[in-house]
Structure 1
């Protein structure tokens, strides 16, 4: 609970802080459901690659005997967020010459890899040029490197997989695919995917709209806790993804879907276009939870399908 409380404080007092889609619980539940869907051959290949991640020993520490690989895969889903807090990892900018480079286990945080901000104006506010490096551009590079017949080293494949497990989840969080501009928020970045709008949830908490969506599945959790929650009655394991949509493994399509959902659901009334807090209604929160569950289930199915193709 301490880390969850810290996350809420960061969301409230530090607008420049990088976004954390779904927080730990959401990312780990998506990874868990995806891992269960993989064939033994794809699992074995994923397991072998993740063993090359420098944090692997920490991931499996305390794992029940025989479940080390599962725990590693589920824990890997939070690794791109975890490195943001490592003292030997450094902030960098989307305009840097290294922004698009895949450097196996280098020490850059690449915070801008976590989202694809399609720009949107609520009132014809002029839009700047979008960034050319984002979650979609980088995920496409990683997809190209992961197959055994690519020119990538095993370490680069491991690095790509460690990011991919996370980024698939990111791209299914609607507010990781949009930046809304308005007369009240006209500057570069706009509302930064809901980070600049405040809402009041049913529990009385005032927080950024983006943080509200990130926290729908909960905050900090152990792997055991995430697996337990996913397997509970009504948990993510019981949500059936649309079979036809699950076959779509194009990151650009995922981002477009999330962009559309952001406009229709995440920004739905009573959310405002300025920084004044909006009190969320029961209807809004119900729709948000249902949308998040469907998106997370779809992310899990697509992650599994994508890895089946890439890890043959």
Structure 2
């Protein structure tokens, strides 16, 4: 009973609102564009037309200034995928749509409880996006959430977190568990460590556009060879296994509540993290592209 009550406390806990950083989400969107352009170019044009009616169109126009043709369209898809993070702490924000968390380490007998609405909102936004009779502005917003939730749920720490005697209110998917990228580096949240794997600085610094362009060029050939498979439940369950068997292993289990005492990650853990993150972002892009086929 005590553990059950502790689990219910999670209802009131602050939980993650972001998964991959802007680089990761933009990669998902751009890879989705490429897959869709190759398989159903009419759907790409339909999405461009729908996005012209987005209620936050001015934001997109500012970020697309100077681009034309396919470069502009690909960037549009990338910006769509990151838009739900761009509007955090505004009336358009939906904090609990970004995750569907279960306990994967510690008191796993309480894994009957899921925090977050990602699964329900994936289905709802997919239905809206595909509904040609829905208002274009609503469809445009739904398309952004579709790409974003799909990316979020390929990040393992949006499906799994830790609850045990040391973390009685959970570690909030690693958002209050401190680690370091390596010896001598600044402390950062475990969740942030996964989110910012594509950011060379780890702090939202550097050349985001240049980084995305380079990563896209590296990842696109691998995406072209990947066959989309499964649906949301499969993607969710894959992330659950990765959270349990990979994210919450080794040095991650030494994460602390005090930033000054944060342990460094090992080279092996960081190599594992990057390998998983690359595979998951590529998979998300291919699968989002498949989900948008046939849209008109």
Query: Which residue, out of 225, 231, 252, partners 2:210?
Result: 225
Corresponding residue of 1:109: 93
> Quick one: which of 213, 219, 222 aligns to 1:236?
219
Match of 2:81 among 74, 77, 82: 77
Q: TM-score scaled by structure 2? A: 0.82
Q: Which blocks of at least 5 consecutive residues in structure 2 are unaligned?
A: 1-12
| Residues 1:241 and 1:278: Cα distance change in structure 2 (over 3 Å) | farther
Tell me which residue corresponds to 1:283.
268
Consecutive unaligned residues of structure 1, counting only runs of 5 or more, are 1-14, 90-106
SS of corresponding position for 1:199: strand
Residue correspondence of structure 1 range 236-255 to structure 2 within 5 A: 236-240=219-223, 243-244=226-227, 246-248=228-230, 250-255=231-236
Matching of residue 194 in structure 1 with residue 178 in structure 2 = no
Residue 135 of structure 1 and its aligned partner are, at CA, apart by: 0.9
1:176 aligns with 2:179: no
User: Hey, what does 1:58 align to over in structure 2?
Assistant: 59
Q: Residue 118 of structure 1 aligns with which residue?
A: 102
Q: What is the rounded CA distance, in whole Å, between the counterparts of 2:120 and 2:155 in structure 1? A: 17
Q: How far apart are the structure 1 equivalents of 2:207 and 2:117?
A: 28
C-alpha RMSD of the superposition? 2.5
1:281 positional shift: 0.7
Any conservation in 1 of the 2:14–2:172 contact (CA below 8 Å)? no
Q: Does 1:306 align with 2:284?
A: no
Distance 2:179 2:276 in 1: 18
1:145-174 CA-partner distances (Å, limit 9, x unpaired) = 22245x633222112101111111101011
> What is the TM-score when the length of structure 1 is the normalising length?
0.78
Distance 1:283 1:118 in 2: 26
- Structure 1 runs of 4+ off > 6 angstroms? none
Which has the larger share of helix? 2
